[in-house]
Amino acid sequence: MNDDSSRHHFPTSRLEDADGPGLNPTGNRTMGEIIAARFSRRGFLKGSMAATAISATVSPLALLAADDAHAAAAESAFDFPEVMAGVDADHHVAEGYDADVLLRWGDKIFADSPDFDPTAQTEATQERQFGYNNDFVGFIPLDGADDHGLLVVNHEYTDPHMMFPGIVTIADGKITLADATEDRVNIEMAAHGGTVIEIRKVDGKWQPVLDGAMNRRITAKTEMQISGPAAGNPRLQTAADSTGTRVFGTINNCAGGVTPWGTYIMAEENIHGYFMGELPADHPEAANYKRLGLPEGTYAWGRYHDRFDVSKDPNEPNRFGWVVEVDVMDPNSVPKKRTALGRFKHEGAESVLNRDGRVVFYLGDDERFDYVYKFVTAGTFNPDDRAANMDLLDQGTLYVARFHDDGRVEWLPLVHGQGPLTAENGFASQADVLIETRRAADLLEATPMDRPEDIQPDPATGRAYVMLTNNTKREEANAANPRVENAFGHIIEIVEEGGDFAATTGTWEILLKCGDPSIAEVGATFSTETTVNGWFGMPDNCAVDADGRLWVSTDGNSPSKTGRTDGLWAVDTAGAARGTSRLFYRVPVGAEMCGPCVTEDMTTFFLAVQHPGDGGEDWEGFGRPSYYEDLSTRWPDFNDAMPVRPAVVAITRQGGGKIGVPIDGA
């Protein structure tokens, strides 16, 4: 979710601009300062001269011709005809591939689900239909097959101005949104959460299995269990739940993960916008909530559900901001909020099986000047006993990263009683450390980052790739990023010591500084083999496929910022082609590219297209705000009777075979 988006034009529940200026109150050295110290002036000048040479000596058409990209293919790990970057109402995939819409907002999830009627929505119908704004996508094979499995999808948030007819008014150039009714609030709550649905490939095409025994919807009202060190703590107890162990719903589920034992991980991110009301300045939770930017009151849920009004239910926010685990094999299972993994604005929870049998999860806290984390389980994974793994996430060590000038990364344990995490600093127990993870990390002097989002480990190399989307609030330029505003973000590569993902030390390098490499002052560091279509800004989610290749999806490219929509790029990380990027798929106007998930056999890419059609005034092809009655695109149906609909797309190679490899390697 991109908080630097320019597309938020309605007083809606959209949280894309809700991350604010950064809430970290510390003076901890930022990543920009560390990068500046990490690389010498000589190295910086070298990079600047290279960037200048690109723009000064070679025309964009000559430099970025498709033939040049093909010439570099022998060194690249990827081989496909690159998509042309641009902006229009449809999506586009590399020639030789099909991009089929698999599931859209409102589609049936069960055999008896009602047909989608956008003019007659109800809470009951939405609970049995595919939710809104799909983000994370995961695939869990069934029967060991790559053509049959469970698709798990997060539904991050809702855009009422795109969802509901008759609620937008434009008068005298002023745009207003009608106050939310109780029915509308309940529909939005039902459109949040996640979907678990069985899918199968038939004649080379994926389709949902509507009578699948494990199909289910998870919403903002689904009953959940709170587990781990913070479970039962008085700070999680409410009038409705005196035990502090039960809660209704999960919200703002951005990225996520799938565990080695086949469970579905939902990460709660921007929880601050769901709460309204006010706490007294001297309330025990006031400072805690301020560090998370809540209550912000973007949503109107607190008008009809007291638990979302902090003045009426002051402990309820402490029950959100966690990682949720779902046992997908039992559609009646109670999802669990795993408090051992900390409470913050979680972007993703990708895991890797370490060589000693422990499981390591990488976690980003998606806010300007916040931190990178990892969690190492205390127990080990048992491949022969699924039940033995089901509570692995309740015990382990949560670490936060400190990046050093000399290229070292140090993982600092967030453990009660160690260092400053003591009663003297307000931490009476490990529960307090986890409820206030951000403050604990502040005291450990972790490194403030430029909006860490998805983090993907590569099990074959002991490396992890950190997506840092952007930070336009940095006020000082630095040698490695010579711009006052880091508008385009960058990617950091962590190499864990000895290839041990549980190690507490490692090294780091910048894989890419993003942006247009033909503009010297941008300071982008894509390889010179990257074409005019291949560069990108705002890295957000990512995937490492079975061959160890990195794929990056973006959030924030737009007509006004980059002259292109978001999409999925293939990025070389090794050899002479390192730093080369190629565009494989791009989304329709206004959309964000989320959830890249490639099957183990590399024959299918599942992608999530989120909030298509938003921000129409940013595109000269439309030139005005986009809303239900007047949309910049009606993707994917292109039917005047249907609104624009977020959707999951399944990409396959025509004739079959692996994605992005030479035909003879298919």
Res. 406 pLDDT band, cuts 50 70 90: confident
pTM confidence score: 0.92
Q: Are 537 and 75 in contact (CB under 8 A)?
A: no
Determine the 3-state secondary structure of 72 from DSSP.
helix
Q: Are 442 and 28 in contact (CB under 8 A)?
A: yes
**Cα–Cα distance, 24 to 288 (Å, whole number):** 12
Token output for 470: 């952007």
Determine the structural domain holding residue 62 and report its residue range.
31-269+321-665
Q: pLDDT for 283-316, tens place per residue?
A: 999 999 999 999 999 999 999 999 999 999 999 9
Q: Identify which of 552, 550, 442, 545 has the alpha carbon closest to the alpha carbon of residue 488.
A: 552
**Cα–Cα distance, 2 to 6 (Å, whole number):** 9
Residue 406 lies in a domain: yes
Residue 134 lies in a domain: yes
Q: pLDDT for 608-622, tens place per residue?
A: 999 999 999 999 999
Residue 277 lies in a domain: no
Q: pLDDT for 570-610, tens place per residue?
A: 999 999 999 999 999 999 999 999 999 999 999 999 999 99
Token output for 629: 């009655």
Q: Is residue 361 pLDDT above 70, yes or no?
A: yes
**Cα–Cα distance, 365 to 490 (Å, whole number):** 16
Whether the upstream peptide bond of residue 295 has omega within 30° of 0, thus cis, is yes
Burial 378-415 (b: 16+ CB within 10 A, else e): ebebeeeeeeebbebbbebbbbbbbbbeeeebbbbebe
**Cα–Cα distance, 656 to 666 (Å, whole number):** 8
**Cα–Cα distance, 316 to 307 (Å, whole number):** 6
- Mean pLDDT confidence for 336-355: 97
Handedness of CA 294, 295, 300, 303 (dihedral sign): positive
Q: pLDDT for 517-536, tens place per residue?
A: 999 888 899 999 999 999 99
Q: pLDDT for 466-498, tens place per residue?
A: 999 998 887 765 433 335 578 999 999 999 999
Q: Identify which of 274, 357, 358 has the alpha carbon closest to the alpha carbon of residue 308.
A: 274
Res. 452 pLDDT band, cuts 50 70 90: very high
Distances (CA, A) of 35 to 38, 44, 71, 404: 5, 11, 33, 9
Average pLDDT of the chain, as a whole number: 90
Exposed, middle or buried by CB within 10 Å (0-12, 13-18, 19+), for 508? buried
pLDDT of amino acid 29 = 67
Residue 2 lies in a domain: no
Q: Is residue 664 pLDDT above 80, yes or no?
A: no
Residue 107 lies in a domain: yes
pLDDT of amino acid 475 = 73
pLDDT of amino acid 535 = 98
Domain count, the chain: 1
Residue 300 lies in a domain: no
- Reported as half-sphere exposure (CB side, CA atoms, 13 A), residue 17 has a value of 12
Res. 173 pLDDT band, cuts 50 70 90: low
Residue 3: CB atoms within 10 A of its CB come to 25
Residue 290 lies in a domain: no
**Cα–Cα distance, 127 to 120 (Å, whole number):** 14
Q: Is residue 31 pLDDT above 70, yes or no?
A: no
pLDDT of amino acid 197 = 98
Q: Is residue 216 pLDDT above 90, yes or no?
A: yes
CATH number at residue 113: 2.120.10.30
Res. 56 pLDDT band, cuts 50 70 90: very low
Beta bridge partners of 513: 490
Strand residues in 273-419 grouped as ranges (E) = 323-326, 336-338, 346-353, 359-365, 368-370, 372-377, 396-403, 408-413
Residue 435 lies in a domain: yes
pLDDT of amino acid 24 = 79
How many helices (H) and strands (E) would you count in the chain? 10, 33
pLDDT of amino acid 472 = 86
Q: Is residue 18 pLDDT above 60, yes or no?
A: no
